[in-house]
Amino acid sequence: MEKEIVYTLQEVEQVANNLIPFILKNKIMVITGDLGAGKTTLITSICKQLEVIDQVSSPTFSIVNEYETHSHEKIYHLDLYRLNDVEEAINIGIEDYIYSHNITFIEWPEIIENLLPMNLLRIHLENLDNSTRKLLFL
């Protein structure tokens, strides 16, 4: 069932907080949307709610960022935008991250659709204007 939430950038932390139960249940969140839609901003707010002690940033160039929480749990943040094919994803060990049982956020997941488990949280973001986003649960 598809659900839609429209929010402003000032409300992103509230939206992040509301997503926490779904993230804890599914462990994997894939997030799609155009450049500038707010994917990393939302993930940063979620990580704040999960008490990540590291600085959260876009892994566009590193492809994978690993964060630690106050309770010493690992969280993975992947950005697959720069990958050309599924083989590149496999070569970076994508399956190790996906099946680690740690919370894993994946931006631009389209290239690895066939590797993803059934149980995950699927989000799509749309940029409505400079300060308003639409979040779709897919």
pLDDT in tens, 100-114: 999 999 999 999 999
Rounded mean pLDDT, 125-138: 93
Q: How many domains does the chain have?
A: 1
Share of the chain above pLDDT 70, in %: 99
Q: Tell me the C-alpha distance between 132 and 117, whole Å.
A: 31
What pTM value is reported for the model? 0.93
Better pLDDT: 21 or 1: 21
Rounded (10°) CA dihedral 94, 98, 99, 102: 120
- Write out the residue range of the structural domain in which residue 53 sits: 3-137
The pLDDT value recorded for residue 1 is 44
E strands along the chain, which residues?
3-8, 28-32, 64-68, 74-79, 103-107, 121-129, 132-137
Q: Tell me the C-alpha distance between 97 and 99, whole Å.
A: 6
Tokens of 95: 């399956």
Q: What pLDDT digit, counting tens, does each position of 26-35 carry?
A: 999 999 999 9
Residue 80 to residues 4, 8, 106: CA-CA distances in angstroms? Answer: 25, 26, 7
- Closest by CA position to 79, among listed 55, 136, 5, 92: 92
CATH no. for residue 19?
Answer: 3.40.50.300
